[in-house]
Amino acid sequence: MISQMPPPIRLVIETLEKEGYLAYVVGGAVRDLLGGRPVSDYDVSTDAWPEEVICVAGRAGWRVIDQLGQNFGVVLVVVEGMPIEVATFRGEQYGEDSHRPTEVWYSHEIISDLARRDFTINAMAVGCNGDLIDPFGGQQDLADGVIRAVGDARVRFSEDALRMFRACRFAAQLGFRIDETILNAIPAQLGRAAGLSLERVRDELEKTLIADYCDQGLGAMLETGLLNAQCRIREKGMYRQIPILPELQHLANLPQEAKYHRLDAWKHTLAAMRSAKPDRMIRWAALLHDIGKGLPGVRGIDDAGAVFDHGHEVAGAQLAQEILERLHMPKEMRDRIVWLVSRHMRFYFCLYRNPQAASHWIRQEARSKSFRDCKSMLEAFEQLTDLCTADCLASGAADQAVQNAQAIVEFGAYLRKLVCDTPIHTRDIRYEAEELLSILGDRQMIGPFLQTALHRLQDGELRNDKEAIYAAAKKWISRKLQKMD
């Protein structure tokens, strides 16, 4: 396993050992190496204290960035261009803060350092000789595909509440089941989540969302009550509590019309997320696309006893807006996700009931000021096609869903063709500036003509090609000159 590590990592460990210290690769890197997965980053642990690591680095000619060392025993060194965190073996004491330890002390034993970690699969170490140090059975849990806490799960979560979210995130990334002791321990520690920062919770949420097994991670978050918990944000020197995602709770076991859905609303949402591309916007949209279902004023029952949720996309878009603002998502991303939620039913309406309405819809969107240019609108309709495809694959009978998904892909391509032919801004109009100037005869005429041409193009009265634009310009300037005469 040591041979699989990058040369700079091996060099750091070998150099520390030559200087008389113990040194190991620890944590996620060992887990991923054993599991045959790509390693995103390597952490080195040693019994050398931070000042001793700095001295070793100086003698070896490594650059040192000592920003973390004093507080947490971590020294960042740059070896052959690779940044590497070198941490001193340590123990920790936690207090009121739900994530950061109040006290850190150094240790001389790797076992005590591993004992403070969250899960057994992250509590393994390997040195230059290749021997695996695994005091808590992490290798077996890795083989069994289970996430289990180091020691008592209740204690681990009372120390650091973020570990509850990390358990779900690892389930989403690795496809592992979460041990019952963890699932049973989380509800009793939900209050500790209130001390976590919104930024850290949102980061765990998004890592879970884009993971290969996002349905497992989000499913565990809802099952244990984590989505119904609160975190906090600091504003003007004061902390304010932020609900995480309680709006999803009502989807659990919410029945849907069997004619269209084989799953309840929450299981359908999870299946749609799993089917969607691992893209932040699309996965967020898949998570929130049916959030309006089952709400008062939306849920109804027809004369035959079938349930329906007319207008759930409107209610869902409003809820999505509130949620994403509350979670402090970037405005551009927030606006796009809300747009996707609000438009997904219109996509189906145009596809299945009134394909002729597609051109009118595209013209409406072109004039809506929702998009900067044709490129951004094209991207939005590509994302909408991906969302509706995932939604479809999570609905109805599996064989029919695949056929319907193919129809959605084809219709999405048609919509994008309409978008390409419908400019959003005058800069999307196809013309050569000098040629247009030679026709109009005055640069001050270019702007007014392009605005007129833009409206005609959006109304489908004009083709967006140079010949058609130049012909329209000749007629337009001719009428202008006649009026002046």
Task: Pick the last residue of a domain from 403, 420, 437.
Answer: 420
Are 431 and 384 within one domain? no
Q: pLDDT tens digits, the chain, 485 residues: what are they?
A: 667 899 999 999 999 999 999 999 999 999 999 999 999 889 999 999 999 999 999 999 999 986 555 567 899 999 999 999 999 998 776 666 555 666 677 888 999 999 999 999 999 999 888 889 999 999 999 999 999 999 999 999 999 999 999 999 999 999 999 999 999 999 999 999 999 999 999 999 999 999 999 999 999 999 999 999 999 999 999 999 999 999 999 999 999 988 888 899 999 999 999 999 999 999 999 999 999 999 999 999 988 888 999 999 999 999 999 999 999 999 999 999 999 999 999 999 999 999 989 988 998 898 888 898 889 999 999 999 999 999 999 987 667 778 889 999 999 999 999 998 888 888 889 999 999 999 999 899 999 999 999 989 888 888 888 999 999 999 999 998 888 76
Do 433 and 294 share a structural domain?
no
- Cα radius of gyration (the chain): 29
In a domain, 400, yes or no: yes
pLDDT of 148 reads 98
**Residue 271: inside a domain:** no
Q: Report pLDDT for 198.
A: 97
Domain count, the chain: 4
pLDDT for 459 equals 83
Asked if 303 and 432 sit in the same domain, the reply is no
> Does 433 share its domain with 323?
no
74 pairs with which residues across the strands? 87
Q: Are residues 327 and 209 in the same domain?
A: no
**Is 413 found in the same domain as 293?**
yes
Element (H or E) spanning 340, and its range? helix 331-352
Decide if 16 is inside a domain.
yes
Confidence at residue 304, expressed as pLDDT on a 0 to 100 scale: 86
Do 304 and 318 lie in one domain? The reply is yes
Structural domain includes residue 263: no
Tokens of 312: 């759930």
Q: Is 196 helix (H, G, I), strand (E, B) or coil?
A: coil
Which pLDDT value is given to residue 98?
53
Same domain, 169 and 218: yes
Question: Which two structure tokens, joined as six digits, stand for 324?
Answer: 């994403």
Query: CA-to-CA distance for 238 and 59, rounded, in angstroms?
Result: 46
Among residues 144, 167, 186, the one where a domain terminates is 144
Q: Which residues touch 408 (CB under 8 Å, ≥6 apart)? A: 347, 351, 385, 388, 389, 392
Return the pLDDT at 2. 67
From 402, 420, 438, the end of a domain falls on: 420
Specify the pLDDT at position 313.
97
Domain that holds residue 370: 278-420
Q: Identify whether residues 400 and 437 lie together within a single domain.
A: no
Can you give the pLDDT at residue 344?
Answer: 97
pLDDT at site 347: 96
What was the pLDDT predicted at 40? 86
In a domain, 56, yes or no: yes
pTM of the model: 0.89
Whether 297 and 170 share a structural domain = no
- Distance from C-alpha of 282 to C-alpha of 279, rounded to nearest angstrom: 5
User: 455 and 430, same structural domain?
Assistant: yes
Cα(42)–Cα(166) distance, rounded to whole angstroms? Answer: 18
